[in-house]
Each structure stands twice: as C-alpha cells, then as structure tokens.
C-alpha cells in the first residue's frame, strides 16, 4: 500500500458510495470505524448535495474490537432498514473493517430483510475506486435485473410497429466529472433522433429501474470505467448491443450519432438536431494559427484522457506530446491511443511521476485532473481540468457538459481561452517598464501564487550554471546558458520561449557547444527558421 499526499482514486468502497449516492431508494450499510466516515464530505461538500449520502456506518471504535463487532453490524443494518425503508440495500466493509474479517453479506442474510440485499466483496488492498464503482453497479444490476433474464433459447419479442426504438444510458455516478450535465446533453441528443431513453443508471435510477434494464433495445455506454462490465452482462443475458464511441468532441459526437442510429435501426441520414458545435468556426479564423502545433500534455481517467487527446490534436490542431492515465484497468486502451501520436503512454497513480514527466516535456498546455492543475501552477503552465478527481470548482453552477455538441463548445472555451490569454499577456510585456508589468509578475491567468515561482524560475534560468539537455541521436549533450543568452531568451514571448530553448539546445548538442551564447540562440533561430 502506497502512502501519499494525494491520490487519484480512493479505496473501492468509495466507488460503491458513488453508486449508492447516485441512486434513489437504495441504502449502503458500511462496516467501518469512525475514521472512515470522512467520505461523507466528498458528497456533501464537493457535489453540494442537499442531504447526507444514503450510507450508514457501524462506526466501531478500538474498544469494540474486544467484543462482538458482528452484532454491531447487524444492529446498524436493521436500524438502517427500519429508519430509511429502502427498496434495496448494499452491505460491505471498508478497508479498515476488512482486516477484522467480519462477513457483512452473511450477517445481513441472517436478518432476513424483505428487500434485495447485495453483498459487496471489494478487495480494498488490491483494487481502487473506479473498479469499486464498476463492480458495485454490476452486482446491483445482476441482483435486480437477473430475475428477469429470459430463459435460454427464448428470443426477445420484436418491437411493435410504430413503436420508437429505446435505449438505456449507463455509467454516470455521483462525484463524476460533469456527469449530470453530460446526461442532460446526451438524453436531449438521443431523444432528438427519435429514440426513447428508458433508464439512466446508476445516476437517478431506482431499484425498479435496474430491474427493467433488459426492456430496452440497446445500451449507450457513457463511461466505460463504470459501465463496460455491466453492458457486457446485459449483452450476454438480454442480447442488447452497446455503443463504443464516446461523444466527447464534435467529430466523436457525429460518430456516436451514427452508431446510435445503426443500433436503433434508423436510417443513417436521419437529420441531426439543430445544435452543431460552434467551436469549428475557430479553425477557419486567422487567430487559429497562433495555436497550431501547441504542445499539450493529457492525463486523467482513460475515457476522458483518450477523448481529450483526440480533440486536442484532430480538432484544435495541438500537438499531443504526452498522454497517460491512472486507470490501470484501461492501460491497454491508453497505450493504443498513444501510438497514434508517436509517444509512449504514462501509466501511473503516482502524481510525482506525472510532475516529473510534465517538467521533462515542457508542454504549453496541460489537460488533467486537479492534481495536474496544481502541478501546472507550480510550473507556470496553463491548465484545464478534464477528468476526476476534481474539486468543488469543477462542479459549476452553470450548465457545462463535456459530451455532445454543447460539450465541444465547453471544451473550446476551457482549453483555448487560457492560451489566448497568454497572447494578451505577451502584449502587456510591451509595457514591462510600467510599475504594474514586470518580469516578476505572473501571468494573470495563472494566479498570484505563480508570481514567486516565475520569479524564481527566471532567476534560476539566468544563473550561469543553468543548463539545457539536448538529445541528438544516441548522445545527450549538456550546454550551459551564458547570462546574456538567458537575458535574451526572456525577451522571446513566453508561448514560444520553450520551443526556442529546446531548439537552441538541440543545435548546441549537434555542434558540441558547451556554453550557449546570444550568437548560438540566433544561429538556432536561423537554422530552424529555414
């Protein structure tokens, strides 16, 4: 078990809480000590819920370990049913309670409650939050939809003439990154195509809703981390096919629409709703040339990281220099995506490794989680959040989906505007002699806290011992920057300064130059400008 200041994922029981909190008429009884009740804060503070999560803790203490903790659990489960009257219940143990080896499933069965009780076995020291959410949704669905599985050899009745095709939307949970807005956007898009949305699960679903998942014609998988296992089971048991395309970005949304029409048996030329993305105008504007080829580093859960990399390179004209995920279960998918950009994927749940990679690549934009936002601030790099884990500011009051055509507009605003702000900051450097504008002041879009970091970076960079590593074939050359060369480098606009530094280092390495002077800097400009 790795101890760290930050974690990308919590233990699997937090994933189970994300499913329980997302659903209606469901209660989760968690065998856990007092210290594990912190999870309530995740939902009440970050997601701004109006009520406590539907979770009951046994909250045993150290002195209880010498007595009957099993009886504590049975009492908590019985009282939770009597008080909340849920239509279904989940029972399980936290990572700490797992060590005392009580059996919540067996204990709950002995109570003989008159509702479905789903026992969750979540290996806390082997798996993490997203897996816990996926396993919980899968087990809940099997328990509630399982009794309605048709007998072997039974074919599903054909849809009645004139009846609209139908689908389920699978995957959104509580604490999901913009999940509520994504659901609203995709429901509107699918219904505009003439397709009925039967159930959205687990977000907003009831136990009864899960029991009738098999009635739909097909399933839409919005977040594979949570829904891929459940969708596979529904396909095997009910013959429901499911979507593969994730509608993040204008191009991917069009592919998603085409796939949905195919699964629904509707004509491929069914007209799209009048909601085309407004982000495409930018590619036809002269301002787009300022951002073409901008180096971007992408990190997050697999779904959002893969989609963000595609949008960044194919729709915005950026250059993806780094791509990674903390979702080890989807490492293969991320590695395959990274091959498209000629890079090696970064698969890690250690934020320090991510920080080292960002520092090495020197991107001009970071797309990541709240961890990468902190990393980018320290390195004075613009950043946009694209994936959980996130903080309260990433649950905006406004409508802000990531999916669909409106989601494409949100991506454009969130990703491009920080870079355009950078152009404005460059214009302000013309007034660097003014008392408000000087090298020690941070770019306004990076926040005040970035000023000391930028000043320190500039000071370090101007030191005679500052060096640039340039890789040429199989040789790495280290070149020191002369103070006058560093001073000249600072005159170059910040949004191309990194590229100038890298190119100068490359040329110095090829020529065996050990000290970069002003002449070397301008030689590199002439060399790479041809």
Active site members? 287
Give the tokens for residue 101: 């080896």
Distance CA 424, CA 335 (A): 36
Per-residue CA distances from 249 to 4, 186, 280, 301 (Å): 34, 13, 11, 16
What b-and-e string marks burial along 217-228, b requiring 16 or more CB atoms within 10 Å of the CB? bbbbbbbbbbbb
- Listed as own residue / partner, the contacts of 218-221 with beta carbons closer than 8 Å and 24 or more positions apart are 218/165, 218/167, 218/168, 218/242, 218/243, 218/263, 218/264, 219/167, 219/168, 219/169, 219/170, 219/243, 220/167, 220/168, 220/169, 220/170, 220/186, 220/190, 220/260, 221/170, 221/171
Give the contacts of 447 (CB within 8 A, at least 6 positions apart). 377
End-to-end alpha carbon distance in the chain: 53
Max alpha carbon distance in the chain (Å)?
84
Whole-Å CA distances, 528 to 77, 467, 503, 522: 70, 20, 7, 10
Cβ–Cβ under 8 Å, residues 96 and 62? no
Strands 196-201 and 166-170: parallel
> 10 Å Cβ neighbour count for 474?
5
Burial 98-118 (b: 16+ CB within 10 A, else e): beeebbbbebbeebebeebbb
219: which strand partners? 168, 242
166-170 and 88-93 beta bridge pairing: unpaired
Other residues' Cβ atoms within 10 Å of the Cβ of residue 444 = 13
133 neighbors 173 (Cβ within 8 angstroms): yes
Find where tokens 């950009």 sit.
Answer: 341
Residue 327 has, within 13 A of its CA and on its CB side, a CA count of 29
What are the distances in angstroms from CA 211 to CA 112, 167, 173, 199, 229? Answer: 21, 14, 18, 10, 17
CA atoms within 13 A on the CB side of 336: 7
Name which of 403, 409, 370, 363 is nearest 388 in CA terms. 370
Sign (positive/negative) of CA torsion 234, 336, 302, 5?
positive
Query: What is the C-alpha separation between 381 and 366, in angstroms, rounded?
Result: 7
Contact between 79 and 199 (Cβ < 8 Å)? no
């Amino acid at each position: 078990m790795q101890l760290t200041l930050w974690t990308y994922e919590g233990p699997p029981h937090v994933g189970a809480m994300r499913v329980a909190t997302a659903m209606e008429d469901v209660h989760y009884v968690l065998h856990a000590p007092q210290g594990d009740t912190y999870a309530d804060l995740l939902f009440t503070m970050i997601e701004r819920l109006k009520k406590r999560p539907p979770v009951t803790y046994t909250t045993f203490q150290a002195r209880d370990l010498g007595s009957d903790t099993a009886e504590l659990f049975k009492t908590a489960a019985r009282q939770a049913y009597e008080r909340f009257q849920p239509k279904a219940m989940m029972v399980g143990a936290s990572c700490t309670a797992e060590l005392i080896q009580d059996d919540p499933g067996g204990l709950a069965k002995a109570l003989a409650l008159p509702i479905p009780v789903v026992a969750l076995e979540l290996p806390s020291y082997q798996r993490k939050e997203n897996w816990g959410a996926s396993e919980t949704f899968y087990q809940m669905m099997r328990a509630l939809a399982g009794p309605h599985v048709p007998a072997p050899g039974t074919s599903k009745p054909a849809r009645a003439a004139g009846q609209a095709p139908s689908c389920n939307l699978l995957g959104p949970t509580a604490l999901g990154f913009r999940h509520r807005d994504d659901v609203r956007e995709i429901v509107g898009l699918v219904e505009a195509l003439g397709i009925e949305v039967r159930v959205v699960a687990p977000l907003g679903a009831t136990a009864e809703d899960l029991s009738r998942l098999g009635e739909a014609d097909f399933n839409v998988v919005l977040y594979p981390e949570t829904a891929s296992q459940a969708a596979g089971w529904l396909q095997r048991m009910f013959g429901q096919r499911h979507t593969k395309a994730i509608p993040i970005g204008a191009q991917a949304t069009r592919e998603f629409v085409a796939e949905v029409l195919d699964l629904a048996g509707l004509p491929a030329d069914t007209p799209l709703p009048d909601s085309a993305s407004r982000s495409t105008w930018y590619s036809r504007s002269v301002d787009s040339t300022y951002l073409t080829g901008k180096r971007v580093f992408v990190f997050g859960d697999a779904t959002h990281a893969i989609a963000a990399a595609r949008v960044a390179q194919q729709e915005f004209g950026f250059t993806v220099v780094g791509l990674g995920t903390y979702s080890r279960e989807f490492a293969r998918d991320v590695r395959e995506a990274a091959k498209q950009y000629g890079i090696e994927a970064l698969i890690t749940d250690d934020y320090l490794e991510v920080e080292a990679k960002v520092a090495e690549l020197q991107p001009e934009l970071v797309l990541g989680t709240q961890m990468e936002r902190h990393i980018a601030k320290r390195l004075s790099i613009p950043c946009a959040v694209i994936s959980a884990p996130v903080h309260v500011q990433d649950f905006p009051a406004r409508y802000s989906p990531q999916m669909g055509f409106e989601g494409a507009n949100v991506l454009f605003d969130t990703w491009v505007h920080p870079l355009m702000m950078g152009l404005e900051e460059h214009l302000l450097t013309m007034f660097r002699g003014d008392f408000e504008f000087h090298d020690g002041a941070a770019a306004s879009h990076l926040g005040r806290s970035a000023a000391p970091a930028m000043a320190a970076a500039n000071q370090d960079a101007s030191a005679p011992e500052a060096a640039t590593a340039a890789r040429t074939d199989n040789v790495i050359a280290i070149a020191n920057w002369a103070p006058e060369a560093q001073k000249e480098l600072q005159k170059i606009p910040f949004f191309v300064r990194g590229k100038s530094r890298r190119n100068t280092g490359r040329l110095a390495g090829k020529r065996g130059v050990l000290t970069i002077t002003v002449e070397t800097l301008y030689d590199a400009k002439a060399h790479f400008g041809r």
